[in-house]
Structures are given as C-alpha cells and as structure tokens.
C-alpha cells in the first residue's frame, strides 16, 4: 500500500493552520510529525482521519482519494487521538464490544493483537479506574478493530511510564512489520526511534527533518 498526501490546507477563520502539507508513505513505514504546540499537528491527523474537513488537498491511497471515499477511509484508517475516546463508565471488555464481535474479540485476546497490547490483563476494569497507560492501550485496541492498514497516532506514549511505553512500542513495531503504515505526532525520543522519516510542521508546511540524537538541535529546528 502507498499513500500520498498532497497540498492539504486548513484555516480557522483567518488563521491558516495547514498550507500545502504534503508527504508520502508506503507499507511498513512510520512517518513522524514534530512541531511546537499549536503548529497544526493534531489538526493534520484529524483531517486525515475525517474528523475535520480540509479546505483543499488530496489524500490518495493506492490511487483512491480518501477525502472523496469515506467508506473506504473508514476501513483503511485507524485513529488514536491524544485524548481518550472511551466510555468511562464501561469496562475494557464492554468498550471493545462496541468495535469487535464476540468471536473476533476473543481471538485477538487469545494471542492476537489485544493480547500483545496486554489488554487481557485488565479486561474487566472500568475505564474510570484505569491508569493512563491502560487507557492508551485500550484506545489503540479499539482503533485497530477493523484491521486498518494505516494508523494515525497523536502522541501515543505521552505521560506514560517506561514499561507501558515499551509495550506500545513493541506493538507498533509488529504493526509495521506486518505491512502497516504509521503516522504519528510525537515529542518522545522513544517514538522517534520508530520513525523511518520525520517532518517538522512549521508555518503550515511539512519540512523533512533528520533526527541525529541532538535534542538541542531539534529544539532549534522547532523554533
């Protein structure tokens, strides 16, 4: 699979948030998007996920513009926002039941992706009583129910402990190895290690960036 995102634009009133944002990716690649707060990173992911409508541009997946084919996009794209898109009053199992049928959920819990994410360990815990790491892993589990080939993640390891970060990293590496495409917004060095290519989002445009491990240089590039 190959995606080509071209000239995406988005305005909020008179403020231009995205202007000509463009990049490509193919199977087993991870693209990282970096930028300061308010630079439009979350807006870009929301546009690609169909949460927001772009003012212009195309989002091609193997030649099909997903902006014009929402039914294809819903099967192709999974989205894990920065917030928690879960029902707090329900358990992990009940939240999963909104996305999976009984057989497929059990199959994924018995050695499948939900097991890899460790969700089987807190299946009956209510979301309101979960740690941040549990919620994030459950959010990913819900997002991959339709086995999307493209996964959009907005700071998936933010504010999590090292064990949980490694758990999520292991899953995302397995997702890539299986041919999936990852696009993630990040500030986390551990997440940058997942990325095959990185872009800085500045003034609404995406600029290629190579992270050398020099955090001071990264900060200079972001400003």
- Terminal alpha carbon distance of the chain: 34
Cβ pair 54, 108 in contact under 8 A: no
Q: Would you list the domain boundaries of the chain?
A: 2-83+147-222
Compute CA distances 56 → 6, 10, 15, 19, 20, whole Å.
Answer: 9, 7, 15, 9, 9
DSSP three-state, residue 188: coil
Which of 73-82, 86-95, 103-112, 211-220 has the lowest average pLDDT? 211-220
DSSP three-state, residue 123: coil
**Exposed e or buried b per residue across 154-170, where buried means at least 16 C-beta atoms within 10 angstroms of its C-beta:** bbbbeebeeebbebbbe
Name the fold adopted by 2-83+147-222.
Rossmann fold (3.40.50)
Segment 96-139, tens digit of pLDDT: 999 999 999 999 999 899 998 999 999 999 999 999 889 999 99
**CA distance linking residue 183 with residue 203, whole number of Å:** 20
By CB neighbour count within 10 A (0-12 exposed, 13-18 middle, 19+ buried), where does 212 fall? exposed
pTM to 2 decimal places:
0.91
Q: Which residue has the higher pLDDT, 215 or 59?
A: 59
DSSP state of 111: T
Q: What is the mean pLDDT of the chain?
A: 91
Cβ pair 139, 155 in contact under 8 A: no
Segment 10-69, tens digit of pLDDT: 999 988 999 999 999 999 999 999 988 888 999 999 999 999 999 999 999 999 999 999
Strands (E), 44-190: 56-61, 64-65, 77-80, 150-154, 181-185
């Amino acid at each position: 699979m190959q995606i080509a995102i071209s000239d995406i634009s988005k305005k909020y009133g008179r403020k231009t948030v995205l202007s000509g944002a463009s990049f490509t990716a193919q199977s087993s690649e991870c693209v990282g998007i970096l930028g300061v707060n308010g630079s439009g990173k979350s807006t870009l992911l929301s546009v690609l996920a169909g949460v927001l409508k772009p003012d212009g541009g195309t989002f091609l997946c193997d030649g099909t513009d997903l902006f014009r084919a929402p039914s294809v996009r819903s099967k192709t794209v999974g989205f894990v926002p920065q917030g928690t898109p879960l029902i707090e009053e329900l358990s992990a199992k009940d939240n999963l039941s909104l996305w999976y049928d009984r057989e497929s959920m059990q199959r994924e819990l018995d050695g499948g992706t939900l097991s890899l994410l460790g969700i089987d360990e807190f299946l009956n815990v209510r979301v309101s009583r979960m740690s941040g790491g549990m919620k994030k892993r459950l959010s990913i589990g819900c997002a991959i129910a339709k086995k999307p080939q493209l996964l959009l993640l907005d700071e998936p390891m933010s504010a999590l402990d090292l064990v949980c970060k490694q758990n999520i990293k292991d899953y995302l590496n397995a997702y890539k190895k299986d041919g999936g495409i990852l696009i993630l917004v990040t500030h986390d060095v551990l997440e940058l290690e997942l990325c095959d290519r990185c872009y800085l989002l500045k003034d609404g445009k995406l600029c290629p960036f190579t992270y050398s491990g020099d955090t001071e240089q990264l900060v200079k590039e972001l400003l």
